[in-house]
Amino acid sequence: MATRRTNPRSASRARDTAPAPTSVNERRADAFRLYPTKNDLAESTRREVVELLNARLADCIDLETQAKQAHWNVKGPSFIALHELFDDIHGAVDEYVDLIAERIVQLGGIPEGTVGVVAQRTTLIDYPLALSKGSEHVAALSDALAAFGRAVRMGIDEMTDLKDADSADVLTEISRGVDKWLWFVEAHQQ
C-alpha cells in the first residue's frame, strides 16, 4: 500500500480542517453535491448536466495532455511546424477545459479534474508514448481530436435534450474549435 507524504507546512492547516474523505466513494459523494444557486434550471437537470460535463471535462483534460505529449516528442523534417501546432492545440484545449469547468461551477457543481479522476473517466484511447515521427503524432493526435469532437457533439445533443442551451452553447464553441484543430492536423496527412 502506498503512503502519502505530508508537507510539513500544510500539516498544521490540515489539523484545523475537517478530515478529508478517505474512500473513492466518499470523495465522489462529496464532489457530487450541488452548491446553492439562483440559476433557474431545475436541480435534477443541473445534476445531470454537471455529471455529463464532468465526463467531457475528463476527456478534455486527457486531450490537453495528449497534445502536450505530441509537442514534447515530435521529431523529423516538420519538427518546428508540428511542435508549434501541437503547442497551439494544447493552449486552446486548456481554454476548453476552463470553459467546461466554469460551466460546472455556474450550475453549482464541482469540476472533477484530478489526474486520478481523468484516468478513470476518459473515453479517449491512451496516447502511444513511443512515437517520435511527425506523421505518427499527426495520426495519433488527429484520432484523439476526432474522438473528442464526436463526444462533444453527443454532449450538445444531451444538453439540448435537457433544455440547457447555455451548456449546449459552451460545447458548440468547443466543437467548432476542435474541428478547426483537427483540420490543421489532418492537413499534414494530405
What percent of the chain has pLDDT above 90? 82
pLDDT in tens, 81-94: 999 999 999 999 99
Query: What percentage of the chain exceeds 70 in pLDDT?
Result: 83
Residue in 118, 73, 77, 95 with CA at minimum distance from that of residue 181: 95
pLDDT at position 33, please?
Answer: 84
What is the tally of structural domains in the chain?
A: 1
In a domain, 13, yes or no: no
CA distance linking residue 169 with residue 155, whole number of Å = 10
pLDDT in tens, 50-81: 999 999 999 999 999 999 999 999 999 999 99
Does the residue 28 lie in any domain? no
Whole-prediction pTM value? 0.84
Contact status, residue 86 vs residue 67, Cβ threshold 8 Å = yes
Q: In this structure, what CATH number is given to the domain that contains residue 65? A: 1.20.1260.10
- Whether residue 31 is contained in a domain is answered as no
